[in-house]
Amino acid sequence: MNLEFNKNEDAMKLAVSQMKQRHAQVSLGGGKKAIEKAREKGKMTPRERIAYLVDKDSVFTEIGAFAGWEMYQEHGGCPAAGTVAGLGYIHGRQCVIVANDNTVKAGAWFPITGKKNLRLQEIAMENRLPVVYIVDSAGVYLPMQDEIFPDKEHFGRIFRNNAQMSAMGISQIAAVMGSCVAGGAYLPIMSDETLMVEGNGSIFLAGPYLVKAAIGEDADLQSLGGAKMHTEVSGIADYKFDTEQECLDQVRRIIDKMGEQPRAGFDRIAPSMPKKDPKDIYGLVSVDNTKAYDVVEVIERIVDNSEFDQFKEDYGKTIVCGYARIDGWAVGIVANQRKIVKSGKGEMQLGGVIYNDSADKAARFIQNCNQKKIPLVFLQDVTGFMVGTRSEQSGIIKDGAKLVNAVSNSVVPKITIVIGNSYGAGNYAMCGKAYDPRFIYAWPNAKIAVMGGEQAAKTLLQIQVAAMKSKGQEIDAEKEKEMLKVITDKYTAQTSSYYAAARLWVDEIIDPAETRRVISEGINAANHNPDIKDFKTGVFQV
């Protein structure tokens, strides 16, 4: 190992440590006081509820832990979007689990809460996974109701999805452990089975205050919508329990008795660990994403036996394509290359740029994987497509469109990991969020933006300076420097992995050492959906 490797390793481990500290902060939800107040009512935290529900010593893959990060500060924040969720195992069966966090504004729904919950339902629908809802929510956050209530991708879409998932044969179980108010009352009733905790659980369209205001009736929580009333009078709920633990035990018993469903049949053999030390992955990529490295070395720390069969190895070298296995699963890998190579013109740093030949190669490889029913893994570290007269005359737009077409129409599951930069059209071509990856994760060093920070800042500065000069304002070098710093700082903050995760452009920020595991969990989830359509690319220029 050389000095550069050691520097990278130290910086990446520091970034991972910061990520874990921030996750610990998010895990407190609304804070220690709010947690203690909930415990006085016999309530567990959402993370404790999930830990009790899932199989002991099993893996829980969290989704959206940093959703809402540093957002809504004027409203007191919304840690983890007020919802803890992810993929977990119940009696060995992989499920989507969604738990409201009542310590965050009583579990009220912010705009990002709606987006996160819809993303979890999307995961369940795409992968045909059963869903467990742990309900404890006051409903829509009223000060922001115009941003969460009426639109297509807002609160009401949840219940539309409940209905469609039921029609698809996807089992949904709702465990009501707290409030379930107004429109939110439909979620448990549109689930297959509804369980309630007596005393804390309640389901009603309007609470006591609204009932009093609307019709003048005096009613208490339990008579309006408590567990006893709904299991004995209305018949809306199916079970009632004295404790949350008893309720979750019944959820486990329900899941345990579900029949097996058909699978997609993706190829898997007995897993083997990489021969090259997976921990070396920390030292291969620089945290600032500026240094050259060989992405094949990264791949060999992720794949079984460190075996990677390259496709067209000597052609289109700015994208690496090939076949491998990850935790036993057969995969096709498409990765941007950043290493320095020797050519007739001397050394050339590839820099993650997509050229004509590499776009052409990747498009063909994606077609092959669809033909063979092999899931695709994209490792993104891309600064965009090559620009300039020579590239344009060679038809870079045509070849780029061919790659985008192949990615768009791919029918096998796609899993994307942003391991470095993700800029411009490169984000699209390498299966960014807009191209329906089943799962998309980012390393802590990831940067996602329309272009790199330095180029963007200088472009924005030129526009601002030109506008000011057109108004007759004089701009000296010192003023330009100050303006450039303000623009750069703002733009840099918007490109960070946390900014992306806060807005769910990525599902989660992960420790690079977890890359192999999250890919395997993603393919396992995708394998539950046998409905794979025929691969068609439509019309494109050749």
In the chain (542 residues long), the average pLDDT of successive 10-residue segments reads 91 98 97 95 96 97 98 96 98 98 94 97 98 94 91 92 96 95 86 96 88 88 92 96 98 97 96 97 94 96 98 95 98 93 56 89 97 97 88 84 94 98 94 97 95 76 82 81 82 91 98 98 98 85 64
What pLDDT, on a 0 to 100 scale, did the predictor assign at position 109?
Answer: 92
What pLDDT, on a 0 to 100 scale, did the predictor assign at position 209?
Answer: 83
- Integer CA distances (angstroms), 215 to 73, 180, 218, 223, 302, in order: 37, 21, 9, 16, 63
State phi, psi for 462 to the nearest 5 degrees. -60, -40
Q: Where are the alpha helices (DSSP H) in 285-413?
A: 295-299, 356-372, 389-393, 396-409
Greatest extent of the chain over all pairs of C-alpha atoms, in Å:
87
Burial class (CB in 10 A: 0-12, 13-18, 19+), 346: exposed
Judge whether 527 and 267 are in contact, CB under 8 Å: no
How many degrees, rounded to 5, is the angle at CA 185 between CA 96 and CA 105? 75
Judge whether 101 and 48 are in contact, CB under 8 Å: no
Can you tell me the distance from the alpha carbon of 162 to that of 61, in angstroms, rounded to the nearest whole number? 22
What pLDDT, on a 0 to 100 scale, did the predictor assign at position 212?
Answer: 85
Place of tokens 């660990």: 273
Is the pTM of the predicted complex or chain greater than 0.75? yes
What pLDDT, on a 0 to 100 scale, did the predictor assign at position 342?
Answer: 62
